[in-house]
Amino acid sequence: MSGPLRSCVRCYEPRKSVLAEGVKCLHLINKSDTLNPFPAFHLIKLRLSELKQHVPLSKHTHKGLQSVVYVTKGMALSCDQCMKSGDVQHTQFGLDTHRSELPVSEDEVELFKLWIYSSSILTRISSCTHSSEDISVVREEDNSAELRILAGSVNGLDGPIETEPSTCFFDLTLSQIRSTVTEYVLPLPERYSSVLVYVYDSYPSPTTAVVHVLTDDVSISTPISLGSVAVLSPHGESVKFRLDERIPCDEATQIDLVK
């Protein structure tokens, strides 16, 4: 007779590649990963001044897919929509449609692109862009944590993006306030397959985030370094994020995570 299911955390370094001259990509989820309903999750960096070709980038034919694009730095043109930092876009693809992003300015553009399998195949392309003002934000009273809800629901607040099947997409910023330990507990939906955590920025200096997976029978604490990916198994009711306690208390430190 098998014992009770236990939570586990798998950490790894994302695979790097160059999609084109001036286009760098981190593959956070590859096709070989078993994280349904996600076929891929990429962090893409673009710079207009370094591009050697004046054509749309990452141009591929997609069938039965939808994507969520979240811009974290700069401005990019996506599906004929100009997106600035903090904007998010949801697109559903029909047969023989294409998808690409192009930087608007010569400054570096950084964006996350999440691919999701679609439950239906459209005969055309459908896209909707939401500005940063449309995104629900949850803040701790002491400003130690800020959660931007791009898709899904937290504490009765909904994100502007709705996918089918339903997914959650959050941008969490943790800040160290004086000498206190910064922690944030994120409740998880009753039904979910996996949780992906990526630490994508830290300032003024690189830090380490500690992820706690809380369940009824076990608690696991796993450090996630800057630029690393953690995949959490689906046996917890919440995830606790905490800044590493070794961070000097006299330095104002922030760390950003995408879930």
Cβ neighbours of residue 124 closer than 8 Å, sequence gap 6 or more: 94, 97
Is 224 contained in some domain?
yes
The CATH number of the domain holding residue 112 is: 2.60.120.10
Which amino acid is residue 233, in one-letter code? Answer: S
Of 84, 107, 131, which residue sits at a domain end? 131
161 within some domain: yes
- Token pair of 50 as six digits: 């370094």
Q: So what's the pLDDT on residue 149?
A: 95
Same domain, 193 and 118: no
Q: Indicate the number of domains in the chain.
A: 2
Residue 113 and residue 155 in one domain: no
CA-based torsion, 144, 149, 152, 156: positive or negative:
positive
Place of tokens 């941008």: 171
Check whether residue 121 and residue 161 sit in a common domain: no
Residue 65 located in a structural domain: yes
Task: Dig out the tokens for 123 from the structure.
Answer: 């005969």
Per-residue pLDDT of 143-157, as tens digits, reads 888 999 999 998 889
Looking at residue 110, its pLDDT comes to 92
The domain boundary residue, chosen from 86, 108, 131: 131
The answer on 218 and 243 residing in a single domain is yes
Q: Could you identify the residue written with the tokens 């096709």?
A: 31
Q: What is the pLDDT of residue 133?
A: 92
Domain match, 106 and 137 both: no
Whether residues 46 and 86 share a domain: the answer is yes
Whether residue 90 is contained in a domain is answered as: yes
pLDDT at 56: 46
Of 131, 149, 177, the one marking the end of a domain is 131
Residues 117 and 200 in one domain: no
Residues 6+ apart with CB under 8 A from 170: 147, 148, 149, 150, 152, 154, 186, 258, 259
Domain that holds residue 244: 133-258
Helix (H, G, I), strand (E, B) or coil at 22: coil
- Is residue 55 included in any domain, yes or no? yes
In a domain, 222, yes or no: yes
Say how far apart CA 54 and CA 45 lie, in whole Å.
16
Same domain, yes or no, for 55 and 114?
Answer: yes
Q: Is residue 117 part of a domain?
A: yes
124 and 140 co-located in one domain: no
Residue 5 lies in a domain: no
Q: List beta partners, residue 146.
A: 139, 173
Do 123 and 203 share a domain, yes or no?
no
Residue spans of the chain under pLDDT 50: 1-5, 54-59, 247-252
Say if residue 116 is in the same domain as residue 152: no
- Given a contact cutoff of 8 angstroms between Cβ atoms, the answer to whether 29 and 35 are in contact is yes
150 shares its domain with 127 = no
**Predicted TM-score (pTM) of this structure:** 0.84
